[in-house]
Amino acid sequence: MIGNAPFFAVGVLFLMGLLGIFMTKNLIKIAIAVTILGSSVNIFLVALGYRTGGTIPVHFLAGEGTTMVMPTPQAMTLTAIVIALATTALLLSLIMLVWRHYGTIDVDEIRRLRG
């Protein structure tokens, strides 16, 4: 049961991120919630690759003969982090431009495109 504790953490964090998007009206908080969502997925990926008693999957650091965790999810997580970085940076710059044009970052007021 304790084995899949990280997956419960992922579930909780994912729900927090998801609800965070809907709970708030402030755009920046929504961007933060999306980042939380991204990090929960990263935790999920890393937790997938875990082998009990495994060490860092780098040969010269972990030495020979020790069981190593799976390297692929960690590679996937690295890429996912880089992508989340790019997307968050873009989201925040768009929020800045929205503030400059609309004078507000309240999500309910930014709705010139509707219907």
Residues near other proteins (CB under 8 A) are 14, 18, 21-22, 27, 30, 34, 37-38, 41, 44-45, 48, 70, 72-73, 76, 79-80, 83, 86-87, 90-91, 94-95, 97-98, 101-102, 107-108, 110-115
Q: Please, is 27 exposed, middle or buried when counting C-beta atoms within 10 Å of its C-beta (0-12, 13-18, 19+)?
A: buried
Nearest-approach distance from CB 9 to other proteins, in angstroms? 14
Instruction: For residue 89, give both structure tokens.
Output: 């940076």
Instruction: Judge contact between 32 and 113, C-beta under 8 A.
Output: no
Nearest-approach distance from CB 64 to other proteins, in angstroms? 20
